[in-house]
């Protein structure tokens, strides 16, 4: 992996290219940023999915499978609290009305 620097001589208008390899520190920083972004995305998606099922755990909703939603939301809360790089999100249960 290399970085490309392009410069232009303002007098002549000529451009030059210079490719140099990334340093070990630059590569490590890039990997860290990528991992943090994945963790942030995991947390944001888990919060979004939780908010979409807030209705399912209200006491007056009357779902026959409310335990399925409680389990589903518990997994999502775990991902909010401890987000991971390669998250596998659970499938939202289908509501079964009692």
pLDDT in tens, 21-52: 999 999 988 999 999 999 999 999 999 999 99
Length of the chain counted residue by residue? 98
Residue 22 lies in a domain: no
Number of domains into which the chain is organized: 1
Residue 97 has pLDDT above 90, yes or no: yes
Mean pLDDT of 82-93: 97
- Model pTM score: 0.76
Q: 19 - beta bridge partners?
A: 4
Q: Using pLDDT thresholds of 50, 70 and 90, give the confidence band for residue 7.
A: very high
Q: What is the mean pLDDT of the chain?
A: 95
Residue 47 lies in a domain: yes
Question: What residues make up the domain containing 76?
Answer: 43-98
Q: Distances in Å between the alpha carbon of 80 and those of 12, 32, 88?
A: 56, 19, 13
d(CA 83, CA 43): 6
Residue 96 lies in a domain: yes
């Amino acid at each position: 992996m290399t970085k490309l620097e392009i410069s232009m001589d303002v007098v002549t208008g000529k451009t030059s290219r210079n490719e140099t390899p990334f340093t070990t520190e630059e590569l490590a920083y890039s990997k860290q940023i990528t991992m943090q972004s994945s963790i942030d995305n995991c947390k944001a998606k888990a919060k979004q999915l939780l908010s979409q099922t807030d209705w399912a755990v209200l006491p007056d909703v009357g779902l026959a499978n409310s335990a399925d939603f409680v389990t589903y939301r518990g997994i999502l809360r775990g991902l909010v609290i401890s987000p991971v790089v390669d998250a596998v999100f659970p499938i939202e249960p289908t509501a079964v009305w009692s």
